[in-house]
Amino acid sequence: MDNWSLTKLLESLHDDIHQRLEIARKTFSHPGTKGDASERVWLELLQKYLPKRYQAEKAHVVDSNGQFSQQMDVVIFDRQYSPFIFNFEDEIIVPAESVYAVFEAKQTINENYVKYAQDKIESVRKLYRTSLPIPHAGGTYPSKPPISILGGILTLESDWKPAMGKSLNDSLLLAPGSLNLGCLAAHGYFNYDEVTKSYELINGGKPATAFLFKLISQLQFIGTVPMIDVLSYSKWLKD
């Protein structure tokens, strides 16, 4: 019988992400290059391990009123039911209706980067989203309300000591729930509890793997994005 170990498999997933983020930080001296490499590490994790109904890309988000978000390091969006994905020269634009979650990726976390991530995430959440009634064999289901878009931050390190302590919690609570979850790969991960209106800070362990499982769990509870009114975008076509 093969000597498999689920514990070792899950630990190795975190160790791989942690090591690759460390390499990106230590190898590249240019901040932009270092940042791009770190973003790719997080994107590849999500692209590889999220269920296929989801897609993760660095992207802008657009709504049917022609408003655009800031560029987001990680956008998790529906690829099963949502059409209209624009990709030109590696610039990706997705419709607001298809978005499940958005993340900002940084080398470290501090109060300024928390606020920066909150502002970028808000540029997505404030976009207008359509929702059509859903036809089925027995008639039509009412339009589904737009989902609550998850937002978070992904880093390797923290400028605070301790990393997963009061300073992080106080910074997050300046805008409770604005960041739903995040991962500090070298230290732990955090999650916002909608019931208690407080943050759970999980220190140690294998944060990258634990964060991935928590994210997948939250995506499962969100369900499926509403049915997009594709024709609402056609008003921008010119003769």
Calculated CA dihedral for residues 103, 105, 109, 115, nearest 10 degrees: -50
Catalytic residue among 39, 63, 106, 120: 106
- Contact status, residue 61 vs residue 124, Cβ threshold 8 Å: yes
Catalytic: 104?
Answer: yes
Catalytic: 106?
Answer: yes
**Structure-block tokens of residue 127:** 């976009």
The single-letter DSSP state of residue 68 is B
Catalytic residue among 73, 78, 97, 157: 73
Q: Is 120 in a helix, a strand, or coil?
A: helix
Calculated CA dihedral for residues 212, 213, 214, 216, nearest 10 degrees: 90
Whole-angstrom distance, CA of residue 150 vs CA of residue 192: 10
Catalytic residue among 57, 78, 104, 157: 104
- Contact status, residue 93 vs residue 59, Cβ threshold 8 Å: yes
Catalytic: 144?
Answer: no
**Structure-block tokens of residue 179:** 């960041």
Residues with a catalytic annotation lie at 73, 104, 106
